[in-house]
Structure 1
Amino acid sequence: MHEVEKLFSLLYSKEEYSNIQKRPELYWKEESVFRIRELMKENRLESGNYVLLAPSSVWETKRMPASKFRVLGERIFKETGKKVVLIGSKADLDLCEEVGSGYAINFAGKTNLPELSFLVSKAALVISNDSSPIHFASAFNIPTLAVFGATVPDFGYTPLADLSFISEIHGLTCRPCGIHGGRTCPEGHFRCMKEQDTNKMFEVAVQLEQGNVK
């Protein structure tokens, strides 16, 4: 059950909330997105011509290795014709540079929340660890590829976009290792992220962007 449904169940019967839109809704004042509009124009970013990569998370065990994000991002850039934009906080600047140097546009630390929501709303696809960009994408029904490592979909924080895919490693008895993940892998192997298949993820990303996944 998604967390939204859990909250709805406190107020409504299952029959009642089954007919309620579960995706969140986000709005912004026009003056609050003027700067991001200009930044997008400078970088020739238009609706649907870029893919957003969000390689960070507060919790280290929820982060797919930067090297894998880089392989995936470079392939998207080279093989799909889409621009690739990295997003994150100021603290993620170096990580995003590691992932996107040489091919991507690094917006880490350059957006506030209204600006980020506007940027997400125009993306062709969002690729993110189990973190907040998933939920921004859900608000605008943007196709989403979510990467789950230490956490699991059963916690209820999965994408709500009509088109989405969760990349996870099945069969690991150590998952989940915490509600929010942790700083280090308790087992020392970090297989939940190190075994993520970027070839499969690229195939899914293309399908999501084309609207024919599943």
Structure 2
Amino acid sequence: MGDVILTSPAIRLIRKRFPGCTIDFVVKKQFSSLLSTHPFINSLLIFDKNKNGNPLKQLKRQIKRNNYDIIFDLHKNLRSYYLSTNSGAQQIFRYKKFVLRRLLLVKFKINLFKQPIPIYQRYLIALSHLGIIDDNQGLDLYLDENIKNNISSFYADFFKSPGQQILGVAPGASFPTKRWTSAGFEQVINHFLEQKNLLIILFGNSEDRELIKSLNIKVSPNILNVAGSMSIAETAALMNHCNVVLTNDTGLMHMAAALKKKIVAIFGSTTRELGFFPVSGDSIVIENKNVRCRPCSHVGRKNCPKEHFKCMKEIQPAEIIKAISSFFV
């Protein structure tokens, strides 16, 4: 999900540079709703791995039939390389992954990134040959108006108090080493449940449902758990109501950034140098910089390879509470 959202500046800037061009976007079926109402995209080419036959070859043939002039490969994996090289396009531009720098950082802790480069800006490097430069407008996410209105109507009783503040919390992540501790989330959530005129919404996918259920959270009418019960588009529409979002390094962090929300992001086994960090001024990244074994992976791990998990365990709830509170002033 995050990879798709991070392409939004590239889409916007291609349209700005070439206003009359046709922009088609290849996307996995499960993430297509993120782009279904995008005003700058002409067509979505859906990759559905569960489709009958050979869906990858079918998609390859569709791309070739469309006779594109330019292909931007902003994923640069084996699948996208296969599709782009067989596209028949006159020009192909691929995003630079900085694989060697990433390897040196993760394996040997040699940091050749003078400044952390956000992933969306790395995507724009692939576009720079055509005179496309960053406009510093950040990420975009265009909500479906019908879904947006339905969400507002369905949760009208929850959003009942005028002037209330809403804190979104996303305690899950794709890998355990990217998740802050359950005890930490419990303390932070329970702290803010004691605040007057403040609501909390718990976000996550179906895999996060059990994690959230296991949290020892006070019973309160001011908290809403929607983990695993909403589509991606519905999640975005509900998150749009939040003032601040507390999240790990995960796709929901990028969703919050695209919705222009204030963000407190907790980083454990990953670091800013890898590029997946919120870049707006209304974001705070909390990380344990005293742990020398970070980063131990560029995507996350099932277990801490050192078996101490200090990168997350040593981050104190008080630090998170202070960061969130600074946005509610």
Residue pairs, 1:48-59, within 5 angstroms = 49-59=165-175
TM-score relative to the length of structure 2? 0.59
Please point out which of 113, 116, 119 is paired with 2:235. Answer: 116
Counterpart of 1:188 in 2: which secondary structure? Answer: coil
Change over 3 Å in CA distance of 1:81–1:195 after alignment to 2 = farther
Contact 1:151 1:177 in 2 (8 A): yes
Counterpart of 1:85 in 2: which secondary structure? Answer: strand
- Separation in structure 1 between the aligned mates of residue 173 and residue 120 of structure 2, nearest angstrom: 21
- Separation in structure 2 between the aligned mates of residue 98 and residue 34 of structure 1, nearest angstrom: 31
Q: How many residues align?
A: 208
**Hey, what does 1:105 align to over in structure 2?**
224
* Residue 172 (structure 1) shift: 1.1
TM-score relative to the length of structure 1? 0.89
Change over 3 Å in CA distance of 1:80–1:184 after alignment to 2 = farther
The percentage of counterpart residues that share the same residue type is: 23
Counterpart of 1:17 in 2: which secondary structure? Answer: coil
Change over 3 Å in CA distance of 1:8–1:45 after alignment to 2 = farther
Listed as ranges, the gaps of 5+ residues in structure 2 are 1-116
Counterpart of 1:41 in 2: which secondary structure? Answer: coil
Contact 2:164 2:199 in 1 (8 A): no
- Separation in structure 1 between the aligned mates of residue 283 and residue 124 of structure 2, nearest angstrom: 22
What is the RMSD computed on CA atoms of the aligned residues? 2.0
Please point out which of 177, 183, 200 is paired with 2:319. Answer: 200
Q: Does 1:36 align with 2:147?
A: no
**Hey, what does 1:145 align to over in structure 2?**
264
Please point out which of 247, 250, 256 is paired with 1:131. Answer: 250
* Residue 105 (structure 1) shift: 1.5
- Separation in structure 1 between the aligned mates of residue 227 and residue 143 of structure 2, nearest angstrom: 20
Counterpart of 2:128 in 1: which secondary structure? Answer: coil
- Separation in structure 1 between the aligned mates of residue 183 and residue 309 of structure 2, nearest angstrom: 14
The one-character-per-residue Cα deviations of 1:156-200 (angstroms, maximum 9, x if unpaired) are 111133311111001211100111110000000000111111101
Listed as ranges, the gaps of 5+ residues in structure 1 are none
The one-character-per-residue Cα deviations of 1:89-125 (angstroms, maximum 9, x if unpaired) are 1221121123345243111112211111112222010
* Residue 129 (structure 1) shift: 0.4
Change over 3 Å in CA distance of 1:42–1:94 after alignment to 2 = farther
- Separation in structure 1 between the aligned mates of residue 140 and residue 321 of structure 2, nearest angstrom: 29
Change over 3 Å in CA distance of 1:132–1:86 after alignment to 2 = same
**Hey, what does 1:169 align to over in structure 2?**
288
* Residue 153 (structure 1) shift: 0.8
Please point out which of 26, 30, 41 is paired with 2:141. Answer: 26
Larger Rg belongs to: 2
**Hey, what does 1:67 align to over in structure 2?**
183
1:77 aligned partner, one-letter code: L
* Residue 26 (structure 1) shift: 1.1
- Separation in structure 1 between the aligned mates of residue 326 and residue 182 of structure 2, nearest angstrom: 23
Please point out which of 17, 25, 45 is paired with 2:133. Answer: 17
